[in-house]
Amino acid sequence: METLDVRGLSCPIPVLKTKKLMDAGVTEILVLGSSAVSRENVQRLAHSQGYQATVKASSETGWEMELKKR
C-alpha cells in the first residue's frame, strides 16, 4: 500500500497527487490529510475512478483514508 501525506495542503493539490498515483496504476493508497474539503474531494475522486474509499480515522487534526481499486 502506497502512503500519500497531503496534510496541510489545500485543494486541488491533494486530489491531483492522489490522481497521479491512480494514473500510475497504484491499486491501494493510504491518504493522510487535514482538510475536510480535501477529504470530501479525494473521496469523490476515488469513487469516480473505481476505488473504494474508507475513512479509517478522523479527528480535528486530520484523517486517514484507505483507497482500494475495485
- For the segment 15-65, what is each residue's pLDDT rounded down to a tens digit? 999 999 999 999 999 999 999 999 999 999 999 999 999 998 888 889 999
Residues with a known catalytic role: 11
Supply the pLDDT for residue 59.
85
The alpha-helical segments, DSSP class H, found in 1-70 are 13-23, 36-48
Domain residues of the chain, as ranges? Answer: 2-69
Supply the pLDDT for residue 61.
83
* C-alpha angle 69-8-11 in degrees, rounded to nearest 5: 60
Supply the pLDDT for residue 57.
84
> 2-29: string of b/e by CB count within 10 Å (b at 16+)?
eebebeebeeeebbebbbebbeeebeeb
Supply the pLDDT for residue 53.
98
CATH number assigned to the domain covering 2-69: 3.30.110.40
Supply the pLDDT for residue 58.
84
